[in-house]
Structure 1
Amino acid sequence: MQSYQADLIEIADELTEAYVEVFTAPPFEHRDPAETRAAFRQRLEGDVRREGFQAWIERSADGRIAGFVTGWTTPAPFRTDRSYGAVLERLGAEQVDELLIDAFEVDELGVLAAARGTGLGRRLLATATAERSRAWLLAWNQNFDTLAFYRRIGWLEPEVRGDETDIIVFVAPTHPRTP
């Protein structure tokens, strides 16, 4: 497994294609590949400059990307763009401050179809959070296999204090303030 920081941009085209392969397949088949490609690539350009940004890539025997994970340290104040507003609605400001601020935010985790069932997703998450007891991530509430995976490996859902949304927040099993 190879670790990256801002140098991830050197393989941005390859990573973008892997991302599109994962996030336009079921249950995301409703996403347009061209729009998904453009949006991810644009986000990646900014994400690599975030404080604490890190990424890990695992390659298959043929050298292609088999899986990836990216993340960074969640800054204060908590953002409200993308899905962050839904997180704030779901958990409330107090829990967001307590659980998520200054924690490692797993932004993207993807395992390509050929590598599923090999333990790669678990290894990627374990690597990303190995030196960070405080970590968190989001999942779409309709991505049932992924939700089951996170629960099976011990990731926990904080108490919902606000409105239900279409995202689920998970904190690492090692988080010192686990629910």
Structure 2
Amino acid sequence: MERCYPQIAAALGEQRTRDWLCGAREVDELAVATSARSTGLGARLLRAVTEDRADGRCWLLTSVGATDTLRFYARTSWTAVTHPTPSGANLAAFLGPRHSARALAPRPL
């Protein structure tokens, strides 16, 4: 899959991209087998790869077409900050539960 950073940067704008994403930890891929869903494994994996970030600055992106995934991130307190991207790539960027910019995300998306 081609990287989608230009689309996310266009959706957030230069300043937010720099302030919210640059230097933060990106969760690049997270997948849980269908048989393991609804067991808490996905939430545990997500915490395991982000909890050691002292400043809480973590982010990820996913397809807006992955509705179960969008609901999962919302349930685990990740905050959507884009939806959809202006280029039509239909991506959503999320900030982690301890990311300092979560409260700055425009509402409603």
TM-score with structure 1 length normalisation? 0.52
Q: Which has the higher contact order (CA 8 A, sep 6+)?
A: 2
Q: Which residue of 2 aligns with 1:139?
A: 62
- The amino acid across from 2:32 in the alignment is V
Is it true that 1:176 corresponds to 2:100 in the alignment? yes
Distance 1:131 1:95 in 2: 23
Cα distance, 1:159 vs structure 2: 5.8
Q: 1:159 to 1:138 in 2, by over 3 A?
A: closer
Cα distance, 1:88 vs structure 2: 1.0
Map residues 13-162 of structure 1 onto 2, 5 A cutoff: 82-132=3-53, 133-158=56-81
Aligned residues, how many? 99
- The amino acid across from 1:137 in the alignment is L
Distance 2:87 2:94 in 1: 14
Deviating beyond 3 angstroms after TM superposition, the runs of 4 or more aligned structure 1 residues are none
- CA offsets 1:27-51 (integer angstroms, 9 cap, x no match): xxxxxxxxxxxx7xxxxxxxxxxxx
- CA offsets 1:39-88 (integer angstroms, 9 cap, x no match): 7xxxxxxxxxxxxxxxxxxxxxxxxxxxxxxxxxxxxxxxxx62111111
- CA offsets 1:103-125 (integer angstroms, 9 cap, x no match): 00000000011211110110000
Cα distance, 1:164 vs structure 2: 6.2
More strand by share: 1
